[in-house]
Amino acid sequence: MFKEFLLRKLIESKLGSLPKEERERIVRIVTKNPALFQEIAVKIKQQTDSGKDQQAATLSVMREYQGQIQKIMTEGGE
């Protein structure tokens, strides 16, 4: 419960410019499978540490996980 609260606050702080509904939707998606998103974050960090620009690294990793993310989004009416 506390871990989910901290995760929610971190996500909200990073997505502050998005409308509230979008922020809440993203929080719900991430909290459904936090391990997957932690794995994604690690891979993005590895790519940026090796010299790739953050946007390119993010796009590359998100393409790799696109199917899994879509599955999470469709579960439970997302």
What residue spans define the domains of the chain? 1-31, 33-78
Q: What is the DSSP string of 36-76?
A: HHHHHHHHHHHHHHTT--HHHHHHHHHHHTHHHHHHHHHGG
Q: What is the pTM of this model?
A: 0.73
How much is the CA Rg of the chain, to the nearest whole Å?
13
- Please check whether residue 30 is in contact with residue 45, taking contact to mean a CB–CB distance below 8 angstroms: no
What digits encode the pLDDT tens for the residues 34-76?
899 889 999 999 999 999 999 999 999 999 999 998 898 887 5
Mean pLDDT score, 19-30: 83
Residue whose C-alpha is closest to residue 48's, from 64, 34, 37, 59: 59
CA distance 56 to 61: 9
